[in-house]
Amino acid sequence: MHDTPKEGIDAKSGCANGIICNNICSQNRLAQIGIKPPQGDSLVIDRVYIENNLIDGINIENGIEPVFGNPDFVNINAGNFHLLSTSPAIDKGTAVNAPNVDFDSVSRPIGDGYDIGAYKYPTTSSIINLSKEDDIFCYPNPFKDVLFIEGKSVLSVSILNSSGQLIQQMKVNKKITKINLSHLSKGVYFVKIVSAKGTSLKIIHK
């Protein structure tokens, strides 16, 4: 929840035995997590379980094991809420009621633990960083059999599965590269692209 005019998460009357875990609440105007008990009921807070949320901004209820700071999204202005490698949300989540896939259908947890937020940071030993602006494009996405990689100064391309395991790798020496991926099953994959500007990661769907 980011930049809403009120609370990012607001537990109001009737919220009994609620669970608020592994959320990123960033720069919401009134509070990041707010709890408003119904009139005459001071026990609503006791009936809502709050744990391992990332708080970025003014807040009312922090709960257990909160994480504070800028979540370090890839490109917040473009609505890209994937995590950069510097995000304090990485591996700081809880397993309590955590889904086993993220919003990209990527399996979680990967690495040392659950990440806070909607997207799992793709932790692999071969990934250096996730660039904010790299002028490299993968299309079509979703793809059927063939994927095109377009960008200047691309040196190599690697295809990884949702667990970060290497499937295919190739060197590149032209602006547009055509890759036959007809052998892959339907699912979510990562494209690791090494260029003269650094290393970036794209998420693709088949």
pLDDT digits over 118-170, tens only? 888 865 433 334 444 457 888 888 888 999 988 888 888 989 887 778 899 88
Write a three-state SS string for 20-34: EECCEEECCCCEEEE
The tens digit of pLDDT for each residue in 27-37 reads 888 888 877 66
62: left (phi over 0), alpha (psi -120 to 50) or beta: alpha
Distance of alpha carbon 129 from the chain centroid: 14
Domain boundaries, the chain: 1-123, 137-205
Q: Quickly state the pLDDT bin for 179 (edges 50, 70, 90).
A: very high
Contact at 8 Å (CB) between 177 and 157?
Answer: yes
**Four-CA torsion 110, 181, 138, 158, nearest 10 degrees:** 50
pTM for the model stands at 0.58
CATH of domain 137-205: 2.60.40.1220
* CB proximity list for 183: less than 8 A, separation 6 or greater: none
Whose structure tokens read 């707010």? Answer: 34
Instruction: Give, rounded to a whole angstrom, the gap between the first and last alpha carbons of the chain.
Output: 28
